[in-house]
Amino acid sequence: MNAVPTSENDSPLYREIAEDVRAAIASGRLSHGDRVPGENDLMKQYGVARATARQALSVLINEGIVVAIRGSGVYVRTFRPLRRHGPRRLSRELWGAGRAIWQADAADGSFETDSVEVATAPAPAYVARALGLDDEAPVVRRHRRYRLAQRPMQLATSYLPAELARATAIAESDTGPGGIYARLAEQGRAPAHFTEEIRVRMPTPDESDALALERGTPVLDVLRTALTAEHTPVEFNEMTLDGSAYVLQYDFDA
């Protein structure tokens, strides 16, 4: 097996090349949408083989810093990550005023739902545990996909006990002003507490297709449980986010 070309400090050359391109992007010498040096350019500049140049670009592509466009070249990503402020988007002031919580993620209103599927089905075991229900108890399942500027950003599936959701707008495609939480409040079951767990993983093939993910892009799983003031769970929400498209922000008091 041939040895990987290395520099004097034994760092593989493809990593050094990737770091140079990464630094050019961070410094602003290469801006969003600019074409980065291609394989031929890197071969000439660094005196390396094509395989090394290709490996350096693959590192950047897999990190989501650049994107390859077939027949054109490799470009600095033009999309700036969306800042998802956890506490602010779940504030009662938001949904209580008739706004959907996901609208907090994009102030200009360009964040939108492009598909909604609603059904009543037995709860999966992990959902039943989160909601404090018997195994396979009926739940209303709401599955949505969200887009920003035509780009798929997030998949979200909410589960609510069927007794709370059935025969209400929660079981309809359009839940009305303020969404699910406003409808729960009308029943005296307003969410007062939330817990969120965040996990990072690689997507399934179906998720890659639904979110139009570039090769090597991870997803963020955000698992949220909404509870009443009495700490009774009323919703379990399973979200899958494009890992290259979000910055998650949480504020805490010491």
State whether 70 and 193 are in the same domain.
no
> Would you state the pLDDT for residue 62?
80
Task: Please report the pLDDT score of residue 109 as a whole number.
Answer: 54
Between residues 77 and 210, which one has the greater pLDDT? 210
Residue 148, pLDDT score: 82
Does residue 6 fall inside a structural domain?
no
How far apart, in whole angstroms, are the C-alpha atoms of residue 141 and residue 86? Answer: 22
Residues 49 and 165 in one domain: no
Which residues make Cβ contacts (< 8 Å) with residue 4, sequence separation at least 6?
A: 12, 13, 14
**137 and 233 both lie in a single domain:** yes
For the cut 70, the answer to whether the pLDDT of residue 6 exceeds it is no
Q: State which of 56, 76, 96 marks the end of a domain.
A: 76
Is residue 218 domain-shared with residue 185, that is, in the same domain? yes
* Rounded Cα distance, 2 and 95, in Å: 60
pLDDT tier at 9 (50, 70, 90 boundaries)? very low
- How crowded is residue 93: how many other Cβ atoms within 10 Å of its Cβ? 8
- Which range has the top average pLDDT, 25-34, 142-151, 158-167? 158-167
Instruction: Examine the domain organization and report whether 123 and 200 are in the same domain.
Output: yes
Whether the pLDDT of residue 199 is over 50: the answer is yes
What are the C-alpha distances in Å from 63 to residues 31, 142, 240? 16, 32, 18
Based on the domain organization, do 145 and 235 belong to the same domain? Answer: yes
pLDDT of res. 4: 43
Q: Are residues 101 and 116 in the same domain?
A: yes
| Residue 4 covered by a domain | no
CATH number of the domain that residue 203 is part of: 3.40.1410.10
Same domain, yes or no, for 26 and 113?
no
- Give the per-residue pLDDT at 253: 74
Q: Are residues 114 and 198 in the same domain?
A: yes
- Cα radius of gyration rounded to whole Å, the chain: 23
Domain contains 52 = yes
- Domain-located, residue 239: yes
Closest CA to 241 of 220, 224, 227: 220
Q: What is the 3-state secondary structure (H, E, C) of 115-161?
A: EEEEEEEECCHHHHHHHCCCCCCEEEEEEEEEEECCEEEEEEEEEEE
- Range of lowest pLDDT (26-35, 57-66, 86-95, 139-148): 86-95
Query: What's the pLDDT score for residue 12?
Result: 87
Q: Tell me which of 73-77, 187-191, 201-205, 245-249 is least confident.
A: 245-249
* Count of the separate structural domains present in the chain: 2
Look up the CATH number of the domain holding residue 54. 1.10.10.10
Q: What is the reported pLDDT for 112?
A: 83
User: Where is the domain boundary, 50, 76, 102?
Assistant: 76
Give the three-class secondary structure for 209. helix
Residue 7 domain-assigned (yes or no): no
**Of the residues 24, 45, 76, the one at which a domain ends:** 76
Same domain for 49 and 91?
Answer: no
The helix, strand and coil proportions of the chain, stated in percent and rounded to the nearest 5, come to: 30, 30, 35
| 208 has a pLDDT exceeding 90 | yes
1 within a domain of the structure (yes/no): no
* Domain encompassing residue 175: 82-249
- Spatial contact of 96 and 185, defined as CB atoms under 8 Å apart: yes
CB atoms within 10 A of CB 153: 23
Q: What is the pLDDT of residues 38-96, one digit of tens each?
A: 999 999 999 999 999 999 999 988 877 888 888 889 998 766 667 776 676 677 766 67
**In the chain, what percentage of residues exceed pLDDT 70?**
85
Is residue 54 situated within a structural domain? yes
Question: What distance in Å separates the CA atoms of residue 98 and residue 81, rounded to the nearest whole number?
Answer: 26
Residues 156 and 201 reside in one and the same domain:
yes
Per-residue model confidence (pLDDT) at position 5: 47
pLDDT at 7: 44
Does residue 5 lie within any of the structural domains?
Answer: no
237-250: average pLDDT: 88
Same domain, 95 and 210: yes
